């Protein structure tokens, strides 16, 4: 009995977690696509301010932390956990 409750909760959690990730990546892709399609460069202004790339780009190191330090990963895990607990409790009340 306990094993089936754990499996049910984990399956709900997995579905919600994957759904949030797919939604995030699809929305990121869609926004990038729309911005690319709608972009119209201004050729006149592009040649008015001509500077060398060395003066505009800061050279240095960008630290990329571990995968679990990513804010979206933390949000996704917490949101999935909270939604899973809520859905599991609602489903249990409906069955009673």
Give the domain ranges of the chain. 10-53+67-95
Radius of gyration of the CA atoms of the chain, in A = 23
pLDDT of residue 19: 87
pLDDT of residue 47: 66
pLDDT of residue 39: 87
Evaluate whether 67 touches 73 at the Cβ level (below 8 Å).
Answer: yes
Closest to 9 in 3D by CA, of 96, 84, 93, 86? 84
pLDDT in tens, 37-91: 998 877 776 666 666 555 666 666 666 777 667 777 788 888 888 888 888 888 8
How does DSSP classify residue 68?
Answer: G
Which residue is listed with tokens 């797919």?
A: 22
Which residue is listed with tokens 């956990």?
A: 81
Would the pTM of this model clear 0.85, i.e. be above it? no
29 pLDDT above the threshold of 80: yes
């Amino acid at each position: 009995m306990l094993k089936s409750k754990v499996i049910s909760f984990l399956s709900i959690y997995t579905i919600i977690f994957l759904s949030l990730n797919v939604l995030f990546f699809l929305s990121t892709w869609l926004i990038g696509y729309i911005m690319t399609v709608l972009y119209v460069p201004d050729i006149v202004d592009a040649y008015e301010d001509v500077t060398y790339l060395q003066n505009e780009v800061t050279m240095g190191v960008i630290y990329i932390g571990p995968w679990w330090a990513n804010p979206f990963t933390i949000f996704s895990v917490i949101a999935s956990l909270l939604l899973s607990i809520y859905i599991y409790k609602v489903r249990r009340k409906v069955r009673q």
